[in-house]
Amino acid sequence: MEHYKVISEMDGTVQCFYICETDTLEMVLDPSRYLMHKTMSNKSPNTVRRNAYSLAAYLEYLKIQGKTADQVIKMEYEEQSSHFVKFLHWLKEGNHRETEEIKIPNNGTCNAYLKDVFRFYLFMEMQGKYESLKVLYYDSFTTVNHAGVQRRLRYRAFKGYLKEEERKVRAAEQNEILTLLKACTNCRDQLLILLAAETGYRIGEILGIDYTKDIDFRNHTIRIYFRDDNENGARAKNAEYRRAKVSNETFEFLMYYLAEYRKLLQRQQLLFINIAGEDAGKAWDVDAVYSMFRRMEHKTGIKVTPHMLRRYFAVMRRKAGWRLEMISEALGHKHLETTVKYLNIVDDELLEASDAYYAKHSALYNVEQLL
């Protein structure tokens, strides 16, 4: 981008925009204020960085169009809708890319950029600076809480998003997990797979577990807390506190792991560490974990990722009869619709209900008489 760039501070937690002399200071202060709000809300550095890139792209688009955010707010509905739809297509054509080597984004990525832009406008609306965008309308869906009480949740929606490609993300299967566990060459890798499958924690949350503080040895639970100073950069998303209980067998295996690598673990407090080489005893990081899963795929022919283990947790709890809100809380989802997408609940339950209905009413229309 020629005019707007994302700059990270030394600690990697604050992003801002570089502007050329022809830009007004106000065009940059508002996004910077929003990003600082995200940072102060303990959003992960990756989330803040993505927000920054989204807003940088949008500011560049505004500059090309010769518009300001204030002018967009004052547009009539049709013009405002056209403005944001054209922004989506501008992104889809790759006009926001800094180099040709960066791949063209898919529809889901373009939509995610626009959602970040809408969050910025909503933030400025809450600050009392902007009026509401005319193109955002309230939609809702009904859910049932743990007490069986229905409630309606409202959220802002936009009708002009690009149709997203179907994400083919599936849950890991139990037999695949068993195969991976048998193929592991050390108990550290086995423990990580077990904890991911039994807690539903994100991989960053698991790598941030402090074995001196976060393990409840009496109740066999593992807690996660927000920390922004972990050696490996791992942190809990959305500054959440949660805890999860693991099986007695897995907890015994955790005790075995702690005993097996006791000397190495004494060098720091994070549960998962490098166990060999020059970095032995240092905290394990996300890149190393994904490298381990790629090695396991090459060894077994089975592709499993940490996210697939997280979905396995959700699917198994659903089959066990957990209510949707309990699963959502266990996963740390901020929005219930995210959990619904995880489980394909609508499609699955409609099919099950249809099967049950037609099993009882198979002769509803006397179709056999028409044959």
Considering the entire predicted model, what is its pTM? 0.62
Q: What is the pLDDT of residue 1?
A: 41
- Quick one: DSSP state of residue 67? -
Structure tokens that stand for 313 in this block = 């947790």
In angstroms and rounded to an integer, the radius of gyration of the C-alpha atoms of the chain is 24
Map residue 129 onto helix, strand or coil: coil
Report H helices in 130-269.
174-183, 187-199, 203-207, 248-260, 262-265
Q: Which of 31, 32, 41, 30 is nearest to 9 (CA)?
A: 32
- Kindly give the parts of the chain with pLDDT less than 70: 1-29, 44, 139-155, 166-167, 227-240, 344-371
The vertex-121 CA angle with 336 and 14, nearest 5°, equals 85
Helix (H) or strand (E) holding 151: strand 150-157
Q: SS3 of 110, please?
A: helix
Q: What's the pLDDT at 344?
A: 67
Token pair in block for residue 202: 């994100």
pLDDT at residue 7 in the model? 42
Dump pLDDT digits (tens) for 15-63.
Answer: 444 343 334 434 445 778 888 888 777 776 778 888 899 999 999 999 9
pLDDT at 102: 80
Q: Which residues on adjacent β-strands are paired with residue 270?
A: 210
| Residue 91, pLDDT score | 95
